[in-house]
Amino acid sequence: MALSIFQFLLFSISNFFLASSFQDLLLLSVNAQSHNLTQPSVTPINFDLYHSSGNLMEEIRALVHRHPDKLTMETIKAGNKGYGAEVSVVTYCKEKKDNDERSKLRILLSFGQHGRELITTELALRILSILSEEKFLPSMDQASLNSALDKLVIKVVPMENLNGRKVVEAGDLCERRNGRGVDLNRNWSVDWGKKEKDYDPYEENPGIAPFSEPESQIMRKLAISFEPNLWVNVHSGMEALFMPYDHKNTTPDGLPLQRMKSLLEEVKHLHCQERCMIGSGGGSVGYFAHGTATDFMYDIVGVPMAFTFEIYGDGTASSRDCFKMFNPTDLATYNRVLSDWSATFFTIFKLVPQKLGDSNASILKPDKLVSIDEYLDGYLMERRNRYGKKLEVLELGMQEIRTYFRLFLLSSVLLLFMFCSRISKSKCRPIVSAIPL
């Protein structure tokens, strides 16, 4: 009897703990499910709306092939320390003459500098489709548009950061840097490497030196050789029309400010209404950005109109949900963004000749001189653009050319010093009679 009572008590205690454990597990399960329901989901790339990087570039190549009278395309490659990159450049110019680029206003547009901003590359494709007249802007008179385009040469970089874009397509939807982990919009030389209090070393890695990255080197060469009158760096994350500067809370003075502000205010009135902020990047965003492309274009290259446009942003998205934060996720918004901003750019194409006046307007004389390295890089790039030759030998010998040039300068200075020294000594030497006394 005693054994039976003991067995009964043991059985009862076991059931109590099992029941308690089951209830705890059930409660944990319910809590986990409710926790997951409250956590923001991560929106994947919608490839029904968006092109993959490969498909987008293939579609652009096909577009260029169908319209050789208007469009040409080249792919520029560079690399260092085991890392390589390529940047494709599409040029719109109706008259294909060697000196035609210098007689027209020159516009340089860059898209996809940050890998996660897919909508910007879609806008590049839309603009090229309109330039080729495969698509049209319903609200714009085609005849007047064609008249404006006759005065322009437009270079479009559809996807500056191809390697970073591939990282995003592989699943890292928040990646903005290039394939080596460097933020290309912090890798330029104006105020490079400075770190603010809110500096994020992961996102804003400026690289080991200015222009350490092949993508930045290619864009620098392109800008110096092309000498654009208008530069626009296209991003997403908000809606804004920014002018220099990004690294400080000031704007340029005098006529340059008047020109840029007048253009942006007219664009905002026509297309952006109250959605877009206008001002300097550093004064409007709430943080300073150092080593940006737009500040370099204005300060060093001397582009009279240099802008950064932000074309879309979802402020309600979680910081983890990067695709939704930087890109439209539904068809209606996707189409609206592309329609509105393509119309914006073609309005700019019509306004730029008016704002700059003479079609032969030269770029501003920058306060800072372009270095011999930058000049040589730009010179060789210009030769390749103009004649279509692949100057691998000159590209590979770039460092040797720089070295020989510096040695030549150094030897010239030394020879001049020796010559002056000899003359000085000869003047001080006493005159001695040749006849012995």
Q: Which spans in 156-253 are helix H?
A: 162-169, 214-226
d(CA 112, CA 234): 7
H helix runs in 357-437, sequence order: 372-387, 392-396, 398-428
Phi, psi of 170 (to 5 degrees): -80, -5
Rounded to an integer, what distance in angstroms lies between the CA atom of residue 93 and that of residue 88? 16
Residue with tokens 């570039």: 57
Out of 310, 374, 392, 400, the active site residue is 310
Could you tell me which of 240, 258, 350, 343 has the C-alpha nearest to residue 304? 258
Enumerate the β-bridge partners of residue 77. 86
Cα(235)–Cα(327) distance, integer angstroms: 10
Instruction: Judge whether 267 and 309 are in contact, CB under 8 Å.
Output: no
With CA atoms as reference, report the closest residue to 309 among 194, 196, 232, 421: 232
Active site residue 310: yes
Of the CA atoms within 13 Å of residue 205, those in its CB half-sphere come to 15
Of 131, 152, 215, 134, which Cα lies nearest the Cα of 181?
Answer: 215
Task: Indicate which residues carry an active-site annotation.
Answer: 310
